[in-house]
Amino acid sequence: MVNKTIVVASNNKHKIQEIGEILSDFHIKKASDVVDSFDVEEDGESFCENAYLKAKSLSKYTNDMVLADDSGLEVFALNNEPGIFSSRYSKEQTDEANVKKLLKNMEGIKDRSARFVCCMVLIINDTIIQKEGYVYGTITDKPVGDSGFGYDPIFIPNGYDRTFAEMDSNLKNKLSHRRAAIEMIKKSLEELV
């Protein structure tokens, strides 16, 4: 029987809450519950490598299961930029500056298709479970909406006519790449537990 505590390699309360809602059969703890300071250099070449680096680093401080994720936006016409550099795409590394730089780089480009990617890595003793979730959509010409964060104001998911930043959090969370990845992790956990 597996210990039913999962330590998430994050202190982001929204992320912890979302993970807790989906993995409701488990006791969810944040990184600061097991270690005073947790800061990992994300120098992997993919979302999954970065998620693994975070999970592996945190697993040294606990015997519980450890869950980490890395996520971002890939714009196909820009060679999948900003990709793993999504949060640090611009010099200023703010949401507003990142969005501005992306829209500038998209000027004159007709193919505006993109996807949000989330890779989740769960470490249970010596077992590593890795799952990727996606949400496909298109990039707008200008930011629309004032909820959400990151690239939400310029991303319209396929099948909808409004950006993530125009949606209420319940709908956005249902469609999210993170939710897709967590659901797959949950399925793997159910098979193990």
User: How much is the average pLDDT of 82-91?
Assistant: 95
Give CA separation, 102 vs 97, 110, 114, 139, 151, in Å.
9, 14, 12, 9, 9
- Residue 122: pLDDT over 80: yes
Q: What is the pLDDT of residue 37?
A: 83
Residue 146 per-residue DSSP state: S
Token reading at 105: 């780089």
- Residue 1: pLDDT over 50: no
User: How much is the average pLDDT of 30-47?
Assistant: 89
Q: Which of 70, 95, 111, 161 is labelled catalytic?
A: 70
Token reading at 189: 């956990």
Secondary structure class of 18 (helix, strand, coil): helix
Low-confidence winner among 35-44, 103-112, 134-143, 174-183 (lowest mean pLDDT): 35-44
The dihedrals phi and psi of 7, each to the nearest 5 degrees, come to: -100, 125
Domain that holds residue 119: 5-192
From the list 12, 16, 11, 39, the residue with the least C-alpha distance to 27 is 16
- Residue 126: pLDDT over 50: yes
User: How much is the average pLDDT of 63-74?
Assistant: 96
Secondary structure class of 128 (helix, strand, coil): strand
- 70 is a catalytic site residue: yes
Q: Name residues whose C-beta falls within 8 Å of residue 91's C-beta, 6 or more positions apart in sequence.
A: 97
- Residue 86: pLDDT over 90: yes
Task: Tell me the β-bridge partners of 75.
Answer: 81, 114
CATH number at residue 46: 3.90.950.10
Total structural domains within the chain:
1
